[in-house]
Structure 1
Amino acid sequence: MSISLLACIHCKKDAEAAFDSELKKLVEASLKEEGCIAYELYQYKDEPTRYVIEEEWADEDALSRHMEAAHYKYFVHISPALLETPADVKILTRLV
């Protein structure tokens, strides 16, 4: 059964352009990973500094490999300088 991840992210107001660019690079690289079923990026319509990433992976091993990927580690390394608050990340299990 697949595993999903939901990340709610709030970047600093003056970092929107840089953060947006880095997020799009992360999504593009992640979609090419083996085991990635979906990797979707959303931005709040009325709050452009707030984003949601919705991911779906084939299994926990695929998610673990993603978290070891160079592009993911790079994003985790640079994102604290761009974030207003730490990301709120939840691992989800589909019920139906």
Structure 2
Amino acid sequence: MAKLTIVANIKANPDKIDLVKAELIKLIDITRAEEGCINYDLHQDNDNPAHFVFYENWESRELWQSHMGAQHLAAYLEATEGAVAEFTLNEMTVIG
């Protein structure tokens, strides 16, 4: 099983930055404790506070997929419905 890197970009609506940030922060400790999670690091853009990035590494795609079906992610999606303007996710492989 190859390690999987995830880069997730979340852009909050300007009036919902604090809500989205608070909900993203709630995901950190519970996700870091999940099987297969190597790191799960949240970043906020210095020039655009509405832009958040999760940089994640997982032992395998299968274990990441388990994370994606977790209840805490469903709760995040429910809490931030209508508050996120844009979301992109890239599955990546380390090549160097």
TM-score (norm 2): 0.91
Aligned to 2:94: 94
Q: Which residue identity is paired with 1:42? A: H
Partners of 1:77 and 1:61 lie apart in 2 by 24
Aligned to 2:11: 10
1:75 aligns with 2:76: yes
**What stretches of structure 2 of length at least 5 have no aligned partner?**
none
Aligned to 2:39: 38
Partner of 1:6, secondary structure, is: strand
Partner of 1:64, secondary structure, is: helix
Partners of 2:81 and 2:75 lie apart in 1 by 11
Q: Which residue identity is paired with 2:35? A: E
Partners of 1:18 and 1:79 lie apart in 2 by 7
Partners of 2:20 and 2:32 lie apart in 1 by 18
Structure 1 stretches of 4+ moved >4 Å: none
The alignment's C-alpha RMSD in Å is 1.1
Query: Deviation digits for residues 9-39 of structure 1, max 9, x if unmatched?
Result: 1101111111111000012211110110000
Partners of 1:47 and 1:59 lie apart in 2 by 32
Q: Which residue identity is paired with 1:76? A: L
TM-score (norm 1): 0.91
**What stretches of structure 1 of length at least 5 have no aligned partner?**
none
Q: Percent identity?
A: 26
Matched residues, number: 95
Aligned to 1:51: 52
Aligned to 1:22: 23
Give the structure with the larger helix fraction.
Answer: 1
